[in-house]
A and B are shown apart, each in its own frame.
Chain A
């Protein structure tokens, strides 16, 4: 490859323009628009952008249903209240779920950091902790679904008000929970590779037959943080509004 000759004299390359001029020259160049981002990271961002539109459409549909119904919307504050010690605490389960997901984002961010430092054990353990938080989140969501279904919430009706409450609730939280579940599986797969030292020994991938590197931890992290990001919007619009 011409890589060796390039490494010998890298100081020849001109510095890239920054700011808006950099934006214009990156997009106007005939090579690639995302100059210092690998194809893997760029593709994850583009996937997340498309996923943003999916969840955006769900939330817009929810807004439309809630605005257009002439029957009162059930009050999420009381619907999602839990009876703890003989006292009704509003939204407490959802608040705990929020804290669990934020914590998982914190451990994920640190896993990316340790990955780039090639500290594979710490990176793998932090990823497994992230996966554990994710599994706890899905478990609490299963509990929440069970509770609401036993109370009579169905996609076509519920005991408290507008019928659309059930369909939007199951659709939005169901899709989000699916994303978390897929993320947990993704985390475990990558954590195993990191733990085994695949990115230090340059072991080839099972499906791709290509050598990987620690950037996959950051790409995995982008997906995980996105799941947390979507929850921020669901929490604000569905549970708090």
Chain B
């Protein structure tokens, strides 16, 4: 009965694998999220436009999302098996985004051409 023993051993060993990190880390991340939110609000308040606006919005969004997932949700300390299972599938949504961008532009084109509502 060698196999079951090793199996339960791994379970016992990993069962105590709690996510325990210093409170200070959470406070620092909290502060960073506040700062990044102020930054993204300022993008609107200062009235940046076009590529500067969109670029800054995306930059602050990705930084905030990364901090929340990595630190608050403890993803930074998980094994890659879980990290990839959770992070990779949503990235594939970008393919859907690309498809719908092209489709939406085509819809706009037909509306402009055949319904004559171009402004």
**Among B7, B78, B93, contact of A31 (Cβ-Cβ < 8 Å):** B7
**Among A12, A69, A117, contact of B9 (Cβ-Cβ < 8 Å):** A12
A112 to chain B: closest residue by CB: B19
**Among A27, A110, A228, contact of B81 (Cβ-Cβ < 8 Å):** A27
**Among B12, B26, B65, B105, contact of A106 (Cβ-Cβ < 8 Å):** B26
Rounded to whole Å, the gap between the CB of B93 and the closest CB of chain A is: 4
CB distance A3 to B40 under 8 Å? no
A179 near B: Cβ within 8 Å? no
CB distance A236 to B57 under 8 Å? yes
CB distance B8 to A35 under 8 Å? no
* B78 contacts across to A, CB distance below 8 A: 37
Rounded to whole Å, the gap between the CB of B59 and the closest CB of chain A is: 10
**Among B9, B20, B57, B69, contact of A13 (Cβ-Cβ < 8 Å):** B9
In whole angstroms, how far apart are the Cα atoms of A216 and B61 in the complex? 28
Rounded to whole Å, the gap between the CB of B14 and the closest CB of chain A is: 4
* B90 contacts across to A, CB distance below 8 A: 49, 52-53, 56
Tell me which residues from 76 to 96 in chain B have a Cβ below 8 Å from any Cβ of chain A. 78-82, 84-86, 89-90, 93, 96
B100 to chain A: closest residue by CB: A64
* B71 contacts across to A, CB distance below 8 A: 109
CB distance A215 to B18 under 8 Å? yes
Interface residue range, chain A: 35 or more
Tell me which residues from 1 to 56 in chain B have a Cβ below 8 Å from any Cβ of chain A. 4-15, 17-21, 23, 26-27, 29-30, 33-34, 37, 40-41, 43-45, 53-54
In whole angstroms, how far apart are the Cα atoms of A235 and B62 in the complex? 12
CB distance B69 to A229 under 8 Å? yes
In whole angstroms, how far apart are the Cα atoms of A95 and B44 in the complex? 11
Secondary structure call for the B interface: helix
A53-B93, A113-B20 given as contacts; is B81 within 8 A of A68 (CB)? Answer: no
In whole angstroms, how far apart are the Cα atoms of A10 and B57 in the complex? 50
Tell me which residues from 104 to 119 in chain B have a Cβ below 8 Å from any Cβ of chain A. 104-105, 107-108, 111-112, 115, 117-119
**Among A27, A33, A95, contact of B37 (Cβ-Cβ < 8 Å):** A95
Q: A6-B9, A34-B85, A113-B23 are in contact. List 13 more A-B contacts (CB 8 A).
A: A6-B11, A23-B84, A26-B79, A35-B81, A69-B108, A70-B108, A110-B26, A112-B19, A225-B69, A225-B73, A232-B64, A232-B68, A241-B57
- Chain A residues in contact with chain B, CB under 8 A? 1-3, 5-7, 9-10, 12-13, 16, 18-20, 22-23, 26-27, 31, 33-38, 42, 45, 48-49, 52-53, 56, 60, 63-65, 67-72, 77, 90-91, 95, 98-99, 102-103, 105-106, 108-110, 112-113, 116-117, 215, 218, 221-222, 225-226, 228-229, 232-233, 235-236, 239-241
- Chain B residues in contact with chain A, CB under 8 A? 4-15, 17-21, 23, 26-27, 29-30, 33-34, 37, 40-41, 43-45, 53-54, 57-58, 60-61, 64-65, 68-69, 71-74, 78-82, 84-86, 89-90, 93, 96-97, 100-101, 103-105, 107-108, 111-112, 115, 117-119
